[in-house]
Chains A and B, each alone.
Chain A
Amino acid sequence: DAGVIQSPRHEVTEMGQEVTLRCKPISGHDYLFWYRQTMMRGLELLIYFNNNVPIDDSGMPEDRFSAKMPNASFSTLKIQPSEPRDSAVYFCASSRWLAGTYSYNEQFFGPGTRLTVL
């Protein structure tokens, strides 16, 4: 398996522009997570899906952020309009349910998208 695939790897855009980040989870995984990482705040969970349904989006910073998962093999994170403070590395991760523990199993992270908003 190729692992979690994210695109683009780097994105540079100007303030006010729309940004769309893409993620393909590992086949067979039923959980998908979007994270943001900055030096100041570390790793933050933005939203996660189970079987394509958003479960917890309490980490989404504001209405400018939206995420979709139209099918089991694709998800997008959109920022519209983008602002300089959105500059960060955005990670996508996927996982499978861990039977008997009421928990999901090890998360596999993608390589991340480094977003720079000028």
Chain B
Amino acid sequence: KNQVEQSPQSLIILEGKNCTLQCNYTVSPFSNLRWYKQDTGRGPVSLTIMTFSENTKSNGRYTATLDADTKQSSLHITASQLSDSASYICVVSSNSGGYQKVTFGTGTKLQVIP
């Protein structure tokens, strides 16, 4: 069964500090992995997308890594800001029967405090 597990479930950090969120998956066959940021009361916004051949992708202070061998991904946030407070969702897609299947993680809720 395809699964995406994220850790930690929630995290509180001080403004200016770095943090790393984890995503482990058992999705097969793998197509791509995306990280989304979802602010409270809003729809998710894509941060990064990585295919099998990519092992790192950056978007400003956000850097995602992918290890397709161990089926792990991480999202590193550098010099956190209050506006980084949100839920971060890992989503893994597979190609099945000619179309995409997506499996969602349950998200990590990040709170950045002054």
Minimum C-beta distance from A15 to chain B (A)? 25
Closest to B107 in A: A42
Within 32-85 of B, Cβ neighbours of A (below 8 Å) are at: 32, 34, 42-46, 49, 51
Q: Does A118 contact B (CB under 8 A)?
A: no
Which chain A residues have a beta carbon within 8 Å of chain B's beta carbons?
4, 42-45, 48, 50, 55-56, 91, 93, 98, 101-112
- Measured in the bound complex, the distance between the Cα atoms of B45 and A43 in whole Å is 13
Taking a contact as CB atoms under 8 Å apart, the answer to whether A43 and B44 are in contact is yes
Closest to A93 in B: B43
Identify which of A42, A91, A102 contacts B95 (C-beta below 8 A): A102
Taking a contact as CB atoms under 8 Å apart, the answer to whether B43 and A103 are in contact is no
- Measured in the bound complex, the distance between the Cα atoms of B89 and A65 in whole Å is 25
Closest to A44 in B: B104
The digit string for B80-100, where 1 denotes a CB below 8 A from any CB of A, is: 000000000100010100011
Q: Does B28 contact A (CB under 8 A)?
A: no
- Measured in the bound complex, the distance between the Cα atoms of B42 and A108 in whole Å is 12
Taking a contact as CB atoms under 8 Å apart, the answer to whether B51 and A107 are in contact is no
Chain A residues, CB < 8 A from B34: 106
Taking a contact as CB atoms under 8 Å apart, the answer to whether A103 and B51 are in contact is yes
